[in-house]
């Protein structure tokens, strides 16, 4: 017999609901308000025999009672839990950045010297940064995950908000949330029925401040549905991005040097996020994917009716066909990109093409163009330094295609057409346009790290025009950011005319089916307004000398603070990775007695990615050694971290001193010529 339970009439259940709601509100106040507003849920809690179930209107949600269902499901999960395992550090699988590579090598060799190796029985596999529940249902399994495994943070994904509402009446969420809080973790609730949105939010949560403890993340699937399958697929597609580093010390130094020298070298403009007049003609964004070769006739046909934006190697593709773009996009900070463009400039006339690039590009990259526009890319220290009161340009990386699409949409082109943005290949060994430097420049493949790797594709994705396309992790990351971009500019239309990977949010369109009504006059008008809508600066303008002095002094102070913290951490005899992570993480946050200081944010950005990479390596080792060996690994990590930070301080101060000298010289030159 089925009996409907009205828990809102049960005083004990109502008290539990209020306690749970108060605890949940500490982490997601908006969700707490939504839950409180639920009055008459469509689904009902029902009692079936001595068990409970969910009546969802036309059927019962669980095949058996929920307690029996969870008992059986959880037992199977505990016997073979699904985890994101990064593994013991492997010495031949290091990042390209030299300092980080050496630090990881010293940690792994140091462990071997101490007689510590990965244990075959994985003694400490229980500890991890995250417990992820895809589906909450009534939620009986949540407490078991948190109590049976030492998970620091909880991510709960659910498509039906009513299920969570019922769960708050039935289960002690307040105790579970307090357990996470005691572990210095976070609680994330993702309530959505869109797989793309859920995958994106899940990725963001896993890359949160506690991302240094990603290894061993538990992923528990409570029920099966089309949404859940799509979430799993999205998680698999993004796994390399989730575990990727959020900045390297060497790169951060290069980027603040490049940005400063770009601003000292010449007059320039800056493209920022601003309201803009909508353009009457479309923008064509042209990259160098293999399918662009079949679209060149269409591009040539409409080149006088559109604003044409080339991306990276797409520049040479267009110029080789006698097609001159209006704008050219670059985002890489390497000298190799400058070498490539200098070779292109020696072969073709680049006059009349406006360069649009990340402020962090090598100064030689911008030097081959007559007119330059810079933008400040997100999450790098140079952007924090120069854009203290401005938002950086989000979603303009990781590839030049992202930069091109972001520029077109950000400049208010209502229609954007993507060509050669394949992000993969249909035909083996046909990875880029045959007119690109990949095939026409014998030195191209050796220009910079990652060029050859970008031609090696071992993953398969759905194609834009059907079928499948081979791709790799880097292109999938570009795709992820591209789909976020189409969502950000949902009122504009993006047509994907590339025969490559499908991009959610972009409409597939064969090049030969394009029919435009815009005129050359519309194009001229769009270019005129676009030129007016960027901010112009004279050489050396906008480079703050006083801020450099402040940055140098606060850099010295911050390193002293972190040395003191490490000395204090070394007194701990029984290491607690969560407490250690919390101590280090706090050094990248404003002190309780102080407000946010943008100069300190520059220092944090410069150091955070590398320091947390080292913590991640330590955490992976800690999870795989015995309790007896854990203190030795902990002390080894702190010793190596202290020595590494000493080297970083010397290098960073020398970089700042060099830049201060250059800024002072330009300032003196301006005074002399005034």
pLDDT tens-place string over residues 115-134: 888 877 655 567 888 999 99
pLDDT at 47: 86
Q: Residue written as tokens 């061993």?
A: 216
Question: What angle is formed at CA 141 by the lines to CA 54 and CA 33, rounded to 5 degrees?
Answer: 65
Cα 90 from chain centroid (whole Å) = 24
pLDDT at 544: 92
Q: What is the 3-state secondary structure (H, E, C) of 252-271?
A: HHHHHHHHHHHHHHCCEEEC
User: 377 Cβ partners below 8 Å, 6+ apart?
Assistant: 331, 358, 359, 360, 383, 392, 393, 396, 397
* Structure-token pair, residue 434: 């045959």
Report d(CA 231, CA 190) in Å as an integer: 12
Domain ranges for the chain: 2-80+126-242, 271-537
Alpha carbon separation from 634 to 116, 210, 437 (Å, rounded) = 12, 18, 48
Q: Residue written as tokens 């009534």?
A: 138
* 122 within 8 A of 620, measured Cβ to Cβ: no
Q: Could you check whether the bond before residue 398 is cis, i.e. omega within 30 degrees of 0?
A: yes
- Of 345, 387, 85, 398, nearest to 214 (Cα)? 85
User: 252 Cβ partners below 8 Å, 6+ apart?
Assistant: 380, 381, 382, 605, 606, 607, 609
pLDDT at 120: 73
- Sign, CA dihedral 27-29-34-35, equals positive
pLDDT at 441: 67
Q: What is the 3-state secondary structure (H, E, C) of 556-617?
A: HHHHHHHHHHHHHHCCCCCCCHHHHHHHHHHCCCCCCCCCCCHHHHHHHHHHHHHHHHHHHH
| Rg from Cα positions in the chain | 27
Question: Looking at the chain, how many residues does it have?
Answer: 674
* Structure-token pair, residue 420: 């050669």
Domain 271-537, what fold?
Answer: sialyltransferase cstii, chain A (3.90.1480)
pLDDT at 204: 82
Strand, helix or coil at 272? coil
pLDDT at 91: 57
Question: What angle is formed at CA 170 by the lines to CA 166 and CA 175, rounded to 5 degrees?
Answer: 115
pLDDT tens readout for residues 80-111: 888 888 787 775 455 555 666 777 788 888 88
Instruction: For residue 310, give the DSSP letter.
Output: E
User: 360 Cβ partners below 8 Å, 6+ apart?
Assistant: 254, 255, 258, 259, 333, 377, 380, 382
pLDDT at 473: 80
Report d(CA 30, CA 83) in Å as an integer: 30
Q: Residues in the chain with pLDDT < 50?
A: 92
Report d(CA 670, CA 47) in Å as an integer: 82
């Amino acid at each position: 017999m089925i009996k409907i339970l009205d828990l809102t009439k049960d005083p004990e259940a109502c008290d539990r609901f209020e306690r749970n709601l108060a605890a949940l509100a500490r982490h997601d106040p908006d969700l707490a308000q939504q839950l409180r507003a639920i009055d008459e849920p469509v689904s009902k809690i029902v009692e079936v025999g001595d068990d409970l179930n969910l009546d969802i209107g036309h059927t019962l949600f669980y095949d058996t009672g929920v307690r029996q269902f969870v008992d059986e499901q959880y037992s199977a999960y505990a016997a073979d839990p699904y985890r994101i395992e990064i593994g013991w550090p492997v010495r031949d699988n290091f990042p390209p950045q030299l300092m980080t590579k050496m630090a990881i090598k010293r940690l792994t060799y140091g462990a071997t010297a101490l007689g510590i190796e990965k244990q075959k029985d994985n003694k400490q596999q229980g500890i991890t940064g995250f417990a992820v529940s895809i589906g909450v249902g009534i939620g009986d399994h949540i407490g078991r995950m948190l109590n049976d495994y030492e998970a620091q943070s909880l991510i709960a994904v659910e498509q039906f908000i009513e299920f969570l509402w019922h769960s708050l009446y039935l289960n002690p969420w307040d105790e579970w949330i307090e357990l996470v809080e005691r572990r210095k973790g976070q609680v994330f609730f993702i309530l959505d029925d869109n797989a793309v949105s859920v995958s994106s939010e899940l990725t963001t949560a896993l890359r949160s401040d506690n991302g240094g403890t990603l290894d061993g993340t538990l992923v528990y699937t409570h029920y099966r549905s089309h949404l859940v399958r799509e979430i799993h697929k999205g998680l698999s597609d993004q796994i390399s991005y989730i575990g990727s580093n959020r900045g390297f010390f060497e790169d951060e130094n290069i980027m603040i040097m490049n940005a400063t020298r770009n601003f000292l070298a010449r007059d320039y403009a800056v493209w920022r996020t601003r309201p803009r007049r909508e353009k009457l003609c479309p923008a064509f964004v042209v990259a160098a994917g293999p399918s662009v070769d079949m679209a060149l006739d269409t591009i040539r046909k409409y080149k006088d009716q559109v604003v044409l934006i080339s991306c990276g190697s797409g520049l040479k593709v267009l110029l080789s066909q006698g097609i001159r773009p209006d704008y050219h996009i670059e985002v890489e900070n390497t000298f190799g990109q400058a070498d490539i463009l200098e070779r292109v400039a020696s072969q073709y006339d680049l006059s009349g093409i406006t360069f649009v690039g990340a402020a962090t590009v090598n100064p030689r990259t911008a030097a081959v163009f007559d007119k330059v526009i810079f933008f400040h890319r997100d999450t790098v220290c140079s952007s924090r330094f120069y854009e203290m009161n401005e938002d950086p340009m989000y979603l303009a990386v990781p590839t030049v295609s992202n930069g091109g699409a972001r520029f077109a949409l950000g400049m208010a082109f209502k229609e954007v057409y993507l060509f050669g943005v394949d992000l993969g290949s249909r035909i083996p060994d046909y990875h880029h346009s045959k007119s690109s430097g990949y095939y026409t420049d014998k030195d191209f493949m050796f220009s910079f790290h990652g060029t050859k790797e970008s031609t090696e594709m071992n993953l398969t994705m759905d194609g834009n025009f059907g079928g499948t396309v081979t791709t790799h992790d880097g292109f999938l990351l570009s795709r992820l950011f591209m789909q976020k971009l189409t969502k950000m500019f949902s009122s504009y239309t993006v047509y994907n005319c590339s025969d490559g990977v499908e991009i959610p949010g972009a409409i597939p369109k064969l090049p030969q089916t394009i029919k435009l009504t815009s005129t050359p006059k519309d194009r001229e008008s769009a270019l005129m307004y676009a030129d007016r809508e960027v901010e112009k600066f004279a050489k050396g303008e906008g480079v703050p000398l006083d801020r450099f002095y402040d940055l140098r002094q606060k850099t010295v102070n911050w390193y002293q603070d972190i040395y003191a913290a490490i000395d204090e951490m070394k007194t701990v005899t029984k290491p607690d990775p969560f407490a250690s992570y919390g101590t280090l993480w706090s050094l990248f946050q404003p002190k309780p007695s102080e407000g946010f200081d943008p100069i300190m944010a520059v220092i944090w950005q410069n150091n955070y990615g590398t320091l947390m990479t080292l913590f991640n390596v330590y955490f992976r080792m800690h999870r795989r050694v015995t309790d007896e060996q854990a203190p030795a690994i902990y002390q080894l990590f702190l010793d190596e971290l202290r020595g590494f930070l000493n080297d970083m301080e010397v290098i960073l101060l020398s970089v700042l001193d060099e830049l201060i000298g250059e800024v002072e010289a330009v300032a003196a030159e301006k005074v002399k010529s005034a």
